[in-house]
Amino acid sequence: MPDKPKMKQSFRSAEWFGREGKYGFIPRSWMRGQGFGPELFDGRPVIGICNTWSELNPCNRHLRELAEYVKRGVLLAGGYPLEFPVMSLGEPLMRPTTMMFRNLASMEVEETIRANPIDGVVLLAGCDKTTPALLMGAASCDIPSILVSGGPMLNGRFRGRELGSGTDVFHFDEEYRTGRLSKADYEEAEAAMSRSAGSCMTMGTASTMASLAEAMGIALPLNGAIPAVDARRRRLAEQAGHCIVSLVRGGVTISKILTRAALENAIVVNGAIGGSTNAVVHLLALAGRLGVPLTLDDWDRLGAGVPCLVDLKPSGRFLMEDFYYAGGLPALMKRIAPRLCLSAPTVEGATIGERLIGAECYNDEVIRPLEHPVAEQGGIVVLRGNLAPEGAVLKPSAASPRLMNHRGKALVFETVDDYRARIDDPDLPVEENSVLVLKSVGPVGYPGMPEVGNLVLPAKLVARGVTDMVRISDGRMSGTAYGTVVLHVSPESAVGGPLALVRTGDEIVLDVAGRRLDLLVGDDELSRRRAELKPAEPHFDRGYGAMFTGSVQQAHLGVDFEFLVGKSELKRSQESF
C-alpha cells in the first residue's frame, strides 16, 4: 500500500493564515497586498524578526541590513519571515537613562508577539539594554527564540594607539579636565573613537550581554565577538534564520534553552570575561520572567574564585576585535569548562560541551591561560552590611587591590547635580582616602538607575596623580568603566534605604574579602536621622514615568516591574473582526 501523506504541522500562525472564510481571507489578502505569494501561507512557520534598528541608536544602525540575511536563512529553511520594529534603546542619546525604558521595550516585544501570527522570533539586538529587553519580552511569551547581536564596532585608532569605547573616553576626559589634552586633540580623538557600525568594542555591557547570550546557548557560537562589519556576522544571521525554523518545528521554546544551568553558566562566564556589573540586574530580571529562581547570593557563590582570563578593556588591554581573532567565547569557555554545565542545551541542537570540542585559542595574550589570569577574582562580588542590607555589587577585575579593604570618611553628594556642581571645586574638602558617596541615583531616585556610579575623581586629586578612590552609590556604571566602585546599593536612598542616612564625615568600611559594606554610625544616631528624612518628591504625575517609579523593583530583584515577574505563556487571542 502507498504511504499515507504526512499531515502538515500546525503552528500558532494557522489561527490567522490557515482558516477558511473571512477569518483567513482577510489576513491573507492584506499580506498578499505586500507582494507575498500564496505558497507562504501553506502551513509554513511564521518567523518574526524583531528589529531594534534606529538612527537614534548608532550602535544598531546596521541591523536593518542584517535582517535581510536572517530572512534569507528563514526562507531557505522553509519559513515565512516577517520583520517588525520595536523601541530601540541607545546609550549615547537617550535620557534620563536607557535603563528606565528596558522594561517598556520588553513589554512592546511581548505584546507584539502575543498580538500577531508569530511562531518563533529572531531577536536583533546590539546596544546595552536592547539585548535584555528583547530576551525578557520573548521569555514572557515562552516562544521559540534566538538572539542575533549586531556585533562590536572596529577598534578605534588615534595617533598610533587603539581606543576603546567608554574606557578611553574616561581617560581623555581626565586629561582634558586637567589641561593635559588640548581641545583640538580632544575633538580629533572623538572622531577616531567610533569608526564603524556596531556597539562598544570594549567588554562593556553590550559585548557582555552578547557574550552571555552565547554562553547561555540562546545565541549561536561567536555571536558575542564577530565585528559588526565582518561578513561572517551576516553569515551568522543567515544561520540564525535556519535555526529558528528548526526550533519552531521542534517545539523548542526559549524556556527550554534558558534553564537554571544556562543562567549559572552565564554568571561564571561573566567573571571569566571581566563582564559588566549591569549583567547582574539583567540576568536577575530575565530569570524572573522565566520563573527561574536566581538571587544575588547565586552571583556571589558562582563567581567566587572565577579568574578573569580575557585581557580586554576596561579590565585589561585589548578590544573585542582582538578577542574574536583569538578564538572568541568558545576558546574562553573551553578554558573554564570544569566550572560549566556542559550538558546545557543550545539553539542549534548541540550542548554547550559539544560547542567547545573544536574550540582553540590563537592568542594567549588576549585569552589568558588559567595559570596567568588578568585577575584572580573576576566574578562580581556581592557586599552586604548596614549600608546595603539587600546587597550591593563590585567588580574586582576593574578595581584597585589596595582599596579592597578600606576605611575612610564619606564625602556625600545628595544628587547628581550637587556632585557635578562641586566635584571640580578647588576648595572641595576631599582627600585621597575619602569615600565618595552619591545618593538619589537608584531606580526610583533618578529615575531609572543611570550609569553615573563611576564618579569622575575630583580634579585637584587627579592633578596630584590620584587614579582611584572608593565610590559608592545606588546607581549603575557603564560596563566600559573601571575603578573601585560600589554599585546597586539596595534598597536605594530615594525609598529610605540606609544610603539616605549617610552624612559627610561619617566613616565607611569596605571589606571585599569579608563581603562587607558598613557605616560606622550608632543605631541611635541612625534612628534620629531617619526620623528627619523627608519623602522624595515624585518625578512624574502621568504616563510611563509614573508607571515606572510606581511599579519598579529594587536592584537586588533586577529592576523589573513587579507585575511582569513570573512564568507566562502564549494563549489564543480573540479575533479582532
pLDDT tens digits for 241-294?
A: 999 999 999 999 999 999 999 999 999 999 999 999 999 999 999 999 999 999
Is 289 domain-assigned?
no
Region 312-333: mean pLDDT is 96
The H helix count followed by the E strand count for the chain is 20, 14
Is 430 domain-assigned?
yes
Give the sign of the dihedral formed by CA 210, CA 216, CA 220, CA 222.
positive
Strand ranges for 79-188 from DSSP E: 80-85, 120-125, 145-149, 156-158, 161-163
Chain segment 104-140, per-residue pLDDT in tens: 999 999 999 999 999 999 999 999 999 999 999 999 9
Region 352-366: mean pLDDT is 97
Cα→Cα distances 10→15, 29, 383, 571, Å: 9, 20, 51, 15
Parent domain of 186 = 157-195
Last residue of a domain, one of 518, 537, 556: 537
Place of cell 550637587: 418
Nearest to 438 by CA among 428, 446, 426, 429: 446
Cα→Cα distances 400→123, 291, 381, 462, 485, Å: 37, 37, 14, 16, 10
Say what the pLDDT of residue 256 is.
98
Integer Cα distance of 539 and 442 in angstroms:
13
Nearest to 568 by CA among 73, 203, 143: 143
Say what the pLDDT of residue 34 is.
94
Helix (H, G, I), strand (E, B), or coil: what is residue 411? strand
Is 42 domain-assigned?
no
Q: Where are the alpha helices (DSSP H) in 391-446?
A: 416-422
Integer Cα distance of 512 and 153 in angstroms:
34
Integer Cα distance of 379 and 357 in angstroms:
25
Where is 507: in which H helix or E strand? strand 507-511
Is 561 domain-assigned?
no
Helix (H, G, I), strand (E, B), or coil: what is residue 43? coil
Q: Are 239 and 147 in contact (CB under 8 A)?
A: no
Chain segment 398-439, per-residue pLDDT in tens: 999 999 999 999 999 999 999 999 999 999 999 999 999 999
Say what the pLDDT of residue 7 is.
47
Q: What is the CATH number of the domain that holds 488?
A: 3.50.30.80
> Does residue 3 register a pLDDT over 50?
no
Q: Are 274 and 315 in contact (CB under 8 A)?
A: yes
Number of domains in the chain: 2
Is 518 domain-assigned?
yes
Chain segment 16-73, per-residue pLDDT in tens: 999 999 999 999 999 999 999 998 999 999 999 999 999 999 999 999 999 999 999 9
- Which of 166-175, 342-351, 450-459 bottoms out in mean pLDDT, i.e. has the lowest? 166-175
Say what the pLDDT of residue 8 is.
64
Classify residue 10 by its DSSP letter: P
Cα Rg of the chain (Å, integer) = 24
Number of alpha carbons in the 13 Å side-chain half-sphere of residue 92:
17
Question: pLDDT grade, residue 536 (50/70/90)?
Answer: confident
Region 6-19: mean pLDDT is 83
Is 108 domain-assigned?
no
